[in-house]
Amino acid sequence: MTAVEEVPLSAAGNPIGFGSMRRVEDARFVRGQGNYVDDVNLPGMLHSAILRSPHAHARIVSIDASAAEALPGVVAVITGKILEGIPRPSLLGDNFAWMPTLSYDTQAVLATDKVRFQGQEVAYVIAESRYIAKDALELIDVEYEILEPVMDAKRALDAGAPIIRDDKGQTDNSITDVHGNKTWESGNAESTAAAIAAAKADPNCVVVTQEIMYPRVHPAPMETCGSVSYLDKVTGQLTMYTTTQAPHAHRTVYAMVAGLPEQKIRIISPDIGGGFGNKVPVYPGYVLSVIGTIVTGKPVKWMEDRNENLVSTGFARDYHMTASIAATKEGKILAVDVDVLADHGAFNGVAQPTNYPAGFFNIFSGSYDYPDAHCKVTPVYTNKAPGGVAYACSFRITEAAYVIERVVDCLAQELQMDPADLRLKNLLRPEQFPYMSPTGWEYDSGEYEKTMRVAMDIAGYDELRREQAEKRAKGEYMGIGISFFTEGVGAGPRRDMDILGLGMADGIELRVHPTGKAQLRLSVQSQGQGHETTFAQIVAHELGIPPEDIEVLHGDTDNTPFGLGTYGSRSTPVSGAAASVVARKVRDRARIVAAAALECAPDDLDWELGRWYVKGDRERGKTIAEIALLSHSSLELPEGVEGHLDATAVYNPPNLTYPYGCYICVVDVDPGTGQVKIRRFIAVDDCGTRINPMIVEGQVHGGLADGVGMALMELIAFDTDGNNLGGSFMDYLLPTAVECPDWELGETVTPSPHHPIGAKGVGESATVGSPAAVVNAVIDALSPFGVRHADMPLTPANVWRAIQGNAIRVDMAVE
Amino acid sequence: MEVTITINGTPVTSEIEPRTLLVHFVRENAGLRGTHWGCDTSNCGTCVLWVDGSPVKSCTMLAAQADGHEVTTVEGLEQGGVLDPIQQGFIECHGLQCGFCTPGMMMTGRWLLDNNPNPSEAEIRDCISGQICRCTGYKNIVASIQWAAEHPATSEVTA
């Protein structure tokens, strides 16, 4: 348990360190005084709108924008052809019609030759108002020659399949990464194949193989994506208010894309209305708003609507997985092999570390102790929107956690073992940490069985099983699903983690003012995580300055040091560590100043929260506030010691941190309608040290709702013509308060041994861990019908079909 | 056309296009940006405000329809420097994270309590079920509304 009770309280009643405290941010949000990008209005600002393709795959024969240009209030209409004519002084291509993606692919800013997905950007209108800009879109006449689209990833590599990326001279729809690989393998192929073959031949063993799809879903933050860009032609300064989770990385990308000098680019990411990975990539719309201000000389706002957000910006998942698990009949897991067909859409726009083109999917071996694991991922282009890594996935650990937790349940069903017993038999043991997984991840710490027992206790697991047996006898279908997940978060060690060559270390700056109040400048970007509160608590913990006396600044590249941003649950593991490190630097410097003032050696001083004092003489000491003033005073400091306490740091994490948890879901299924009702959901997370337990729990609640949504209702499907069938909130269903149960949370605390404060990050844990618990519960309920698996989303129709024994593909509308 | 809408007690008169949505009138003509625009299809509820005391999704109502009517927005909740209990409840119970759905949720929650001062958990969940939050999983929103029900007259100014 956390030692919250021991933390002293400030005059304002806040913990001077870790513990639940009200959020600093809330004061503005509850008054409607948040400052989101659409709230930014600059003098003389113009508005803009994007014409998008109605077709998934078509050649552009002609574009006639004359009627749009003639509409009063329209300032400019920009097409791909115009962008092709603008030379770009950069190494990344010679014109503005194409831009690089975060995966070293190219993506059309505005289509020139072909459109490659429904919703792709075709033309851009700048006008005096949002309404006029939208009107003008209706007046642009585009003639298309419709081409056959590739909508089924399973047929993308067929001989004779239409070629999507002919712009790159491709002769098929394979994707080649920056290292020249067309498939991404991990683990030991030979030993895994041998272990599975041996198990097949051994009458004391079983091998279970299951096709498991993680369909296409969308992060759908409540605030859509947008930006307000202004290039001051006199000073050359580009200021961009934009919905980005990574302001510094975006600044560098715009410098590269636009060929603008980076010192003249200022990215301001004000309040962000949810991100979940949707606001990591650079989208054509952002680039177009920059082009818009370059062309017009005025500020230009672009704000997408919900349909645009759902059909064109970064989707998540779309992994077709086939998993084989080998085990003894006693339930000891021996090996797991996973083959994946990865649908990346029309442009490879995934945002993940360069050396991890399938993200961290290869952590799929999960939380269990077995020697042999292997996966092979084959990525393909299809005529769908680009993306793939998003929606709180921890770089595809969602897919990994889902596939292992689903196939372990399939194994339990095959062995007729209780899925809890099977997991307990195989969980990694505390003495195995640090644990090197069969695919090369070094898990830092964990007490897995303890956590699982806490979850089972809260659930009353044995009693639930008894109730289930009684209900089954009465023809009622109750299900209990378990998921045990391990994540690796906090990317990452600079030695092998970068995005577009930018190492994933984070800078930080702490200023301590003469009165002892402080400002902490962060590179990471809150989208609701409460950084202004939790980062102040980290500094308070290290220096004893009350959190209300520490102002946290973020979201403005001119006022914060460089860092890679907030995604992959990396803020606490990386920048949180940086905050701790920089505060300790200040503490060390304060010791020297205090020693000078107290006329002793620094080594003669001891630290207690908020002050240095003379060893053996507790009365003789100086508080941080006193030392701050002294550091600015005429006090003579030792030679070589600079004045002031301000410090900077760059934190390069030695390893990822490995939060984990055990989730238990209880459902009731109506076999007549296929409707699933979630009765209970128990979540026990171990994210190491909890800086602000209230915020940790809030993060978990949100992720659990994601899991319920993905398991039961969320889906971006397509018809065979390429129409996106999830283009509005009438079609893309998100869970509301009535689908979500009253979450029951528990915790264990196993600190990370290598993180300065032992925190592991928790932002995505519940999104990663919860879908499998829901699906396992539904399948458990349906097992009397002989159902072993059905793909998400488990809508009433899909559950009903599974009961009838004819589950269908969920990702395609099949005639 | 010219419309006059009384927003939070102050009449706002503007010359607008007849097709202007109420959400855009409130945000752009009245300059009150606490009411958000999230989906266009009445599904998400970030645009909820009150027209004549009842919650309305302002992305699917024309400003012209509100001509001569009373609109209350999130900016109208705080009175004389004192937060409404619903605002205080969201702070106390961590009922918000990114804050984007929060104004709409608070307007609906306040309306519920005005009409049903002691709602059950199920009634609260039902009442906010036309609105989406992507951050909180709803549990703390429910708790925030319950807090406001239990503290009908906060006079404390916090945060």
Tell me how far apart the alpha carbons of residues A443 and A489 are, in angstroms, rounded to a whole number: 11
Between A693-712 and A765-782, two packed helices, what is the crossing angle to 10 degrees? 40
CA distance B128 to chain A (A): 7
Closest by Cβ to B135, choosing from A28, A38, A528: A528
User: What confidence score (pLDDT) does residue A809 get?
Assistant: 84
- Tell whether A353 is within 8 A of chain B (Cβ): no
Number of Cβ pairs < 8 A linking chain A and chain B = 176
Q: With an 8 Å Cβ cutoff, are B100 and A36 in contact?
A: yes
Alpha carbon A741 to chain centroid, angstroms: 24
Whether the CB-CB separation of A215 and A318 falls below 8 Å is answered with yes
Q: With an 8 Å Cβ cutoff, are B100 and A702 in contact?
A: no
Tell me how far apart the alpha carbons of residues A218 and A202 are, in angstroms, rounded to a whole number: 43
Q: With an 8 Å Cβ cutoff, are B134 and A221 in contact?
A: yes
Stretch A602-618: mean pLDDT, rounded? 97
- Tell whether A800 is within 8 A of chain B (Cβ): no
Assigned CATH class of A427-496+654-815: alpha beta
- Tell whether B89 is within 8 A of chain A (Cβ): no
The confidence band for A89, taking pLDDT boundaries of 50, 70 and 90, is low
Q: How big, in percent rounded to 5, are the helix, strand and coil portions of chain A?
A: 30, 25, 45
Sign of the Cα pseudo-torsion (A457, A463, A468, A469, in order) = positive
Tokens of B10: 């102050």
Using an 8 Å CB-CB cutoff, list chain B residues near A39: 27, 33
Report the 10 Å Cβ neighbour count for A288: 28
List all residues 6 or more positions away from A19 whose beta carbon is below 8 Å from its beta carbon. A2, A4, A7, A537, A692, A693
User: What confidence score (pLDDT) does residue A86 get?
Assistant: 81
Provide the strand spans (E) within A405-499.
Answer: 435-436, 442-443, 477-486, 498-499
pLDDT in tens, A304-321: 999 999 999 999 999 999
Q: Where along chain A do its domains lie?
A: 4-34+505-651, 38-149+219-312, 427-496+654-815
pLDDT in tens, A640-682: 888 999 999 999 999 999 999 999 999 999 999 999 999 999 9
Tokens of A697: 């729990």
Whether the CB-CB separation of A405 and A481 falls below 8 Å is answered with no
- Tell whether A728 is within 8 A of chain B (Cβ): yes
Stretch A52-77: mean pLDDT, rounded? 98
The confidence band for B157, taking pLDDT boundaries of 50, 70 and 90, is very low
The confidence band for A814, taking pLDDT boundaries of 50, 70 and 90, is low
Tell me how far apart the alpha carbons of residues A52 and A574 are, in angstroms, rounded to a whole number: 38
Q: With an 8 Å Cβ cutoff, are A32 and B73 in contact?
A: yes
Nearest Cα neighbor of A309 from A811, A771, A734 is A734
Mutate to test the interface with B, among A30, A245, A311, A729 (most CBs of B within 10 A): A30
Q: What residue of A is the nearest CA neighbor of B101?
A: A222
pLDDT in tens, B49-80: 999 999 999 999 999 999 999 999 999 999 99
Q: Is the pTM of this model over 0.95?
A: yes
Burial of A195 (0-12, 13-18, 19+ CB in 10 A): buried
List all residues 6 or more positions away from A773 whose beta carbon is below 8 Å from its beta carbon. A405, A481, A482, A483, A663, A664, A665, A681, A707
Q: With an 8 Å Cβ cutoff, are A30 and B91 in contact?
A: yes
Q: Answer whether residue A4 shows pLDDT above 60.
A: no
Sign of the Cα pseudo-torsion (A39, A40, A41, A45, in order) = negative
Residues 119-158 of B with CB under 8 A from A: 121, 124-126, 128-142, 158
Whether the CB-CB separation of A661 and A685 falls below 8 Å is answered with yes
> Average pLDDT, whole number, for chain A?
96
The confidence band for B154, taking pLDDT boundaries of 50, 70 and 90, is low
Strand pairing class (B48-51; A617-623): unpaired
Question: What fold does the segment set A38-149+219-312 form as a domain?
Answer: Aldehyde Oxidoreductase; domain 3 (3.90.1170)
Using an 8 Å CB-CB cutoff, list chain A residues near B142: 737, 742
Tell me how far apart the alpha carbons of residues A327 and A333 are, in angstroms, rounded to a whole number: 4
- Tell whether B87 is within 8 A of chain A (Cβ): yes
Tell me how far apart the alpha carbons of residues A394 and A401 are, in angstroms, rounded to a whole number: 11
Using an 8 Å CB-CB cutoff, list chain B residues near A529: 97
pLDDT in tens, A433-490: 999 999 999 999 999 999 999 999 999 999 999 999 999 999 999 999 999 999 999 9
Q: With an 8 Å Cβ cutoff, are B98 and A527 in contact?
A: yes
Tell me how far apart the alpha carbons of residues B46 and B44 are, in angstroms, rounded to a whole number: 6
Tell me how far apart the alpha carbons of residues B59 and B46 are, in angstroms, rounded to a whole number: 9
Stretch A382-392: mean pLDDT, rounded? 95
Mutate to test the interface with A, among B91, B134, B146 (most CBs of A within 10 A): B134
Q: What residue of A is the nearest CA neighbor of B106?
A: A30
Q: With an 8 Å Cβ cutoff, are B33 and A26 in contact?
A: no
Q: Is B139 helix (H, G, I), strand (E, B) or coil?
A: helix
Report the 10 Å Cβ neighbour count for A168: 11
Tell me how far apart the alpha carbons of residues A219 and A279 are, in angstroms, rounded to a whole number: 9
pLDDT in tens, A167-182: 999 999 999 999 999 9
Whether the CB-CB separation of B137 and B85 falls below 8 Å is answered with no
Residues 275-294 of A with CB under 8 A from B: 275-276
Domains of chain B are 2-76 (3.10.20.30), 85-150 (1.10.150.120)
Between A765-782 and A796-803, two packed helices, what is the crossing angle to 10 degrees? 40
CATH number for domain A4-34+505-651, candidates 1.10.10.10, 3.30.365.10, 3.90.1150.10, 3.40.50.300? 3.30.365.10
The confidence band for A5, taking pLDDT boundaries of 50, 70 and 90, is low
CA distance B43 to chain A (A): 6
User: What confidence score (pLDDT) does residue A392 get?
Assistant: 95
Using an 8 Å CB-CB cutoff, list chain A residues near B138: 701, 705, 736-737, 740
- Tell whether B60 is within 8 A of chain A (Cβ): no
Locus of tokens 């991840």? A441
Whether the CB-CB separation of A51 and A137 falls below 8 Å is answered with yes
Whether the CB-CB separation of A478 and A666 falls below 8 Å is answered with yes
Q: With an 8 Å Cβ cutoff, are B138 and A701 in contact?
A: yes
The confidence band for A3, taking pLDDT boundaries of 50, 70 and 90, is very low
- Where on the phi/psi map is residue A396: left (φ > 0), alpha (ψ -120 to 50), or beta? left
Nearest Cα neighbor of A371 from A321, A446, A426, A424 is A426
Q: What residue of B is the nearest CA neighbor of A132?
A: B17
- Tell whether B70 is within 8 A of chain A (Cβ): no
CA distance A38 to chain B (A): 9
Closest by Cβ to A702, choosing from B77, B97, B102: B97
Residues 121-180 of A with CB under 8 A from B: 130-131
Whether the CB-CB separation of A36 and A270 falls below 8 Å is answered with yes
Which uninterrupted H or E stretch holds A325? Answer: strand A319-328
Closest by Cβ to A32, choosing from B92, B103, B132: B103
Q: With an 8 Å Cβ cutoff, are A271 and B98 in contact?
A: yes
Q: Answer whether residue A373 shows pLDDT above 70.
A: yes
Whether the CB-CB separation of A281 and A314 falls below 8 Å is answered with yes
Q: With an 8 Å Cβ cutoff, are B98 and A743 in contact?
A: no
User: What confidence score (pLDDT) does residue A393 get?
Assistant: 95
Sign of the Cα pseudo-torsion (A384, A387, A389, A391, in order) = negative
Q: Answer whether residue B158 shows pLDDT above 80.
A: no
Q: Answer whether residue B146 shows pLDDT above 70.
A: yes
Using an 8 Å CB-CB cutoff, list chain B residues near A32: 32-35, 73-75, 103
pLDDT in tens, A266-289: 999 999 999 999 999 999 999 999
Q: Answer whether residue A628 shows pLDDT above 90.
A: yes
Tell me how far apart the alpha carbons of residues A653 and A610 are, in angstroms, rounded to a whole number: 27
Using an 8 Å CB-CB cutoff, list chain A residues near B124: 737
CA distance A539 to chain B (A): 20
Using an 8 Å CB-CB cutoff, list chain A residues near B47: none
State what percent of residues in chain A have pLDDT above 90.
94
CA distance A705 to chain B (A): 5
Nearest Cα neighbor of A311 from A568, A565, A50, A101 is A50
CA distance A509 to chain B (A): 24
Q: Answer whether residue A295 shows pLDDT above 70.
A: yes
pLDDT in tens, A547-574: 999 999 999 999 999 999 999 999 999 9
Using an 8 Å CB-CB cutoff, list chain B residues near A130: 24
Tell me how far apart the alpha carbons of residues A788 and A781 are, in angstroms, rounded to a whole number: 10
Q: With an 8 Å Cβ cutoff, are B40 and A728 in contact?
A: yes
- Where on the phi/psi map is residue A688: left (φ > 0), alpha (ψ -120 to 50), or beta? left
Nearest Cα neighbor of A184 from A354, A375, A363 is A375
- Where on the phi/psi map is residue B2: left (φ > 0), alpha (ψ -120 to 50), or beta? beta
- Tell whether B30 is within 8 A of chain A (Cβ): no
Using an 8 Å CB-CB cutoff, list chain B residues near A705: 133-134, 136-138
Tell me how far apart the alpha carbons of residues A318 and A714 are, in angstroms, rounded to a whole number: 13
pLDDT in tens, A685-700: 999 999 999 999 999 9
Whether the CB-CB separation of B132 and A706 falls below 8 Å is answered with no
Looking at residue A9, what DSSP letter applies?
Answer: B
User: What confidence score (pLDDT) does residue A260 get?
Assistant: 84
Nearest Cα neighbor of A217 from A733, A773, A738 is A733
Q: With an 8 Å Cβ cutoff, are B137 and A528 in contact?
A: no
Whether the CB-CB separation of A666 and A479 falls below 8 Å is answered with yes
User: What confidence score (pLDDT) does residue A806 get?
Assistant: 85
Q: Answer whether residue A2 shows pLDDT above 90.
A: no
Q: With an 8 Å Cβ cutoff, are B34 and A737 in contact?
A: no
Stretch A705-713: mean pLDDT, rounded? 98
Nearest Cα neighbor of A533 from A507, A572, A569 is A572
Q: Is A464 helix (H, G, I), strand (E, B) or coil?
A: helix
Q: What residue of B is the nearest CA neighbor of A708?
A: B137
- N residues, chain B: 159
pLDDT in tens, A483-541: 999 999 999 999 999 998 999 999 999 999 999 999 999 999 999 999 999 999 999 99
CA distance A592 to chain B (A): 36
List all residues 6 or more positions away from B39 whose beta carbon is below 8 Å from its beta carbon. A306, A728, A729, B46, B59
What are the angstrom distances between the C-alpha of A56 and each of A150, A389, A405? 8, 21, 35
Which strands sit side by side in the sheet containing A372-380, from one edge to the other? A184-187, A372-380, A333-343, A319-328, A205-214
Q: Answer whether residue B123 shows pLDDT above 80.
A: yes
The dihedrals phi and psi of A273, each to the nearest 5 degrees, come to -85, 60
Using an 8 Å CB-CB cutoff, list chain A residues near B126: 737-738
Q: What residue of A is the nearest CA neighbor of B144?
A: A30
State what percent of residues in chain A have pLDDT above 70.
98
Using an 8 Å CB-CB cutoff, list chain A residues near B40: 305-307, 728
Please check whether the two domains, A4-34+505-651 and A38-149+219-312, share a CATH topology: no
3-state secondary structure A252-311: HHHHHHHCCCHHHEEEECCECCCCCCCCCCCCHHHHHHHHHHHHHCCCEEEECCHHHHHH
